[in-house]
Chain A
Amino acid sequence: MTAALEEIAGLLAVCIGTAALIAGALALAVTHRPSLALSVFLDLLLAAGLLRLVGDPGWQAIVTVASIVVLRRLIGVGLRVGGRAWSSSGGGSGTRVGPLRSSAVARLVRPAWRS
């Protein structure tokens, strides 16, 4: 009974993984926002991972799901930090790097007695 449940859950996990790819690609194509598309993709991938844990999973399944969870957190934190820096600079792609770099260079070049 558990083996049948595991088999069905594994099959459905593959289906949901495919659905995650489709939904993520659609979200990216429609909104042009990679962070949102990635969130959609990882949400559905997490559902697939949870299904893989049904029954008596081996160490490989456990490590896979754990790495998905850690990856999710890492990417989420990275995107949030990146987005905050992007919005706080208040401009497009050209304005973000320039002032930061120029101020850093000015701070390095300026003599200590002038600060």
Chain B
Amino acid sequence: MEELLADIVGVLVTVVEACGAAIVITGAVWAFARFLWVGLRRRTTEAFVPVRLTLGRFLLLGLEFQLASDVLRTAVAPSFEELGLLAAVAAIRTALNYFLSREIADERRQVAEQEETGSAVDVTADEHRRRSA
């Protein structure tokens, strides 16, 4: 019975980890293509920020899957060495999850502030143009 459980958990862990890895790979490839596009075509600093934000979201989603696989692994963890490794990996992934979500929130706030300042500058420029006309 225990062996059957270990087999099932092993397959599930592999599937969930593969999903997480696929999400991370997709995000990285997409972000790399966008970085190339933005770098060669638009050539502005601001254009890089949304791409970084989206890559961060992909990484977060991939991390969630990987954390899920860690949780699944705790169902079957025979040796103390394996438990230590699992704890270290889970701690790294949880810390990454926390820092990444904070970074994304910071960047999003900065983008919103920049958009607000940009729109304020546009409004004053329009008013100035109207008055001078």
- Chain B residue with minimal CB distance to A72? B99
Query: Which secondary structure characterizes the binding site on chain A?
Result: helix
Q: Which residues 17-69 in B have Cβ within 8 Å of A in the complex?
A: 17-18, 20-21, 24-25, 27-29, 31-32, 35-36, 39-40, 43-45, 48, 52, 55-56, 59, 62-63, 66
Q: Is A16 an interface position by the 8 A CB rule?
A: yes
A interface size (C-beta, 8 A): 39
Assuming A29-B39, A44-B31, what are 16 further A-B pairs, CB within 8 angstroms? A1-B14, A12-B21, A16-B29, A19-B32, A23-B31, A23-B35, A23-B36, A26-B36, A27-B35, A36-B48, A43-B56, A46-B59, A46-B96, A47-B31, A53-B93, A57-B89
Selected A-B contacts with CB under 8 Å, 8 pairs: A16-B29, A27-B35, A27-B48, A43-B31, A43-B55, A43-B59, A47-B25, A47-B31
